[in-house]
Amino acid sequence: LFHCICPLLCFQGFLLERRNVLFIMADDLRTSLGCYGDPVVKSPNIDQLASKSQVFLNAYAQQAVCAPSRTSMLTSRRPDTTRLYDFNSYWRVHSGNYTTMPQYFKSRGYYTMSVGKVFHPGIASNHTDDYPYSWSIPAYHPASFRFEKEKMCKGEDGKLHANLLCAVNVTEQPGGTLPDMESTDEAVRLLKSRANDDVPFFLAVGFHKPHIPFRIPQEYLSLYPIDQMTLAPDPNVPKLLPPVAYNPWMDVRKRDDVQKLNVSFPYGPIPKDFQLRVRQHYYAAVSYMDAQVGRLLSALGELGLADSTMVVFTSDHGWSLGEHGEWAKYSNFDVTTRVPLIFYVPGVTTIDDWLGESTFPFVDVLTQSENVVELVDVFPTVSYMAGLRAPEPCPDISFQEKLCTEGDNLAHTFRHRERGKDAEAISFSQYPRPADTPQVNSDLPDLKDIKVMGYSLRSWDYRYTLWLGFNPQTFQVNVSDVHAGELYMLAGDPGQDENVYSDSDHSVMMTKMASLKPC
C-alpha cells in the first residue's frame, strides 16, 4: 500500500501510465520570470506552475533565433545536424528525415495538436507546420496574426504606424482580439474536446509574445510605471567584444518608431528614455503572455486533466534588453541563449494531498536544478516522463538516423537531489555571421552568405566562444581558422562583459567541440 500512495517512491511505476502532454512555448522569452529571480516582472501564473514543477535554472538554446532553435528542439538535433541556420530550408529535404517529438508521440498512439507558433511557419516547416508528419490535424494559427506586421499602432500624430512599441486598445483591433488570446481560446476548446477521450493527447501551444512588435493590451503597461523602470546593468558595448560577436538588431531598427530615432549603425545607442520604454513594453508583454498561460492552466484544472497531464513550459531563446548595447536575439550571450524550462509531472513533481486540496501546498525549493541543460534535452525527457521510451542517443554521424537524440534524458534529475555543480555539464550554442564586422545581414545571414560560425560553450562557471571559418557549401568548419574568441569567467563577471580570451591556448575548447561537430 505504501508503494502505491507515494509517488516519489513509485516513480518507475508511474511511468507505466501514459500521461497527456501540454507543451507550452513562448517566443523570445528570456528568464524574466519571478520563478527565475527577476525582481521586476509580474508572472504569477508561470510562477505558480513552477511551484509545482521541476525548474531548470540553467537551460540553453542551441541557436538564438526562431526557426533553427525550434527545429533543433523538436527534432533533438543540433543546428549542425539539421543544417538550418536561417529560415530557408526544411530539414526533411535539406539534411535528414528526422522524427520530431510530436511525430514520435503520434506514432505511439497519441492525438497530437498544434496551436499558434510551435514550428517556425513557412519554408522551415514545409508551409504546413510539418503536418501530417507531426500532427493528427492541421495546425491552428490565429487569424489576427496577419495584422502583426501591419501598421496597427497609433502614433502621437494620430496615424497608424508599424512601431516596435504598440500597446493597443484590444476592442479597437480587428476582430476585437489579439493572436495569443485567439490561440488560448482554441487551445481551451481542444482541451475540452479531449477531456473525456481515452486516447492520450499531445497539445503544443506556441504563444507569440513577447516577440516584437509589442502589440499587447495597453492595460499591462500599468504594471510597470515608466518612472520605476531601469536601464540594463551593462548598457554599453564591452571594450573587448570582438566585432564579429556583435548583433546590430536590424529587426528592431526597422520599426517606424525606432527609425525616427536616427540611431547610427551599428553601435549607436538607443536614447535612454526610449530604452526604458522598450524594457517596459517587453515586461508588459511577458505579463500578458503569462495571463494566457494562466487561462490555459486554469482550464486544464477545471476539466479534471491536471492529474493526468504533464505540462512543459519553455521558450525558443531569450532576448537582449540593452545588455552589451544590444537588443533582440542573434548572439551567444546568456541573455539570448538562456531560457526557462519547467516540467510539471503529476505524481512526480507534486505530492497530492490525499484528503483533498491543501490550503497551503508544500513548495519544495529543492526541485530547482542549477546544472546546465539544453533544449535538445527536451525531446527525450518529455518522452520518458510521459511514459514512453526515450529515443536512443545518436551515433557520431546521424544524417541517416530518423529517430535518435543529440541531447540527454534528464529524468534522473527528477528523483535525485543535485550534489553540487556538475563541472562536466556543458551546453553548446552557435551563431552564424557573414563577416568579421557588423553588416546589415549579420543578425540573420542566408546560408550562402555565412562565412564565420561562433561556437559557444557554457558551463556553470564560464562561457567560451570561438568564431571559426565556415564553408556554407560543405557545412565544414575550419578549426584552425580562428577569427576571434571570447572567454567570460562567470564568478566575477556574471553579465559577460569582461572578455579575458587569449588565443594562446584553446585546446580544451577544441577537444569539447570535437564531439559536437558532425564529420
Positions marked catalytic:
66, 120
Indicate the SS3 state at residue 11. helix
User: How many angstroms separate the CA atoms of 229 and 217, rounded?
Assistant: 19
My answer on whether omega of the bond before 472 falls inside 30° of 0, hence cis, is no
228: its cell numbers? 520605476
Q: Pick left, alpha or beta for residue 441 (phi over 0 → left; psi -120 to 50 → alpha; otherwise beta).
A: alpha
400 class by beta-carbon count within 10 Å (0-12 exposed, 13-18 middle, 19+ buried): exposed
- Of 268, 266, 263, 270, which is closest to residue 244 (Cα–Cα)? 266
Question: Which amino acid is it at 71?
Answer: T
**Element (H or E) spanning 338, and its range?**
strand 338-344
197 class by beta-carbon count within 10 Å (0-12 exposed, 13-18 middle, 19+ buried): exposed
Upper half-sphere CA count for residue 514 (Cβ side, 13 Å): 8
Distinct helix (H) and strand (E) counts, the chain: 14, 17
Task: Please give the DSSP secondary-structure letter assigned to residue 379.
Answer: H
Our measurement of the distance from residue 262's CA atom to the centroid of its chain's CA atoms, rounded to an integer in Å, reads 31
Three-state SS for 193-223 is HHCCCCCCEEEEEECCCCCCCEEEEHHHHHH
